[in-house]
């Protein structure tokens, strides 16, 4: 069963004004969810690895910063 069925989805930052856009950061319950362009991994010279079952998504810095500002505002930390 989908655990997010009864939770509000709050868009913190987005490059799109449509429901099916990309480069979006949302707040679902206590989780920040990032939707963007899929990446296959980290740069070759990085020691970081992506564990099985996990993926990377890339979003623009502008969307990330807008989402951080909105999250701070919503948490009363502006």
User: Chain-wide mean pLDDT for the chain?
Assistant: 89
pTM above 0.85, yes or no: no
| Residue ranges of domains in the chain | 9-74
Residue 55: is its pLDDT beyond 60? yes
Band of residue 5 on the pLDDT scale cut at 50, 70, 90? low
Q: What is the chain written as a DSSP string?
A: --TTTTS-EEEEEES-SSTT-SSEEEEETTEEEEE-EEE--S-TT-S--PPTT--EEE--HHHHHHHHHHHHHHTT--
pLDDT tens digits, 14-38: 999 898 888 999 999 889 999 999 9
Q: What percent of the chain has pLDDT over 90?
A: 73
């Amino acid at each position: 069963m989908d655990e997010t069925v009864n939770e509000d989805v709050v868009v913190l930052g987005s490059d799109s004004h449509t429901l099916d856009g990309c480069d979006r950061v949302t707040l679902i319950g206590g989780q920040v969810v990032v939707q963007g362009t899929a990446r296959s991994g980290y740069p070759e010279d990085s020691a970081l690895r992506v564990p099985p079952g996990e993926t990377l998504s890339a979003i623009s810095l502008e969307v990330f910063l807008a989402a951080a500002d909105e999250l701070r505002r919503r948490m009363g930390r502006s």
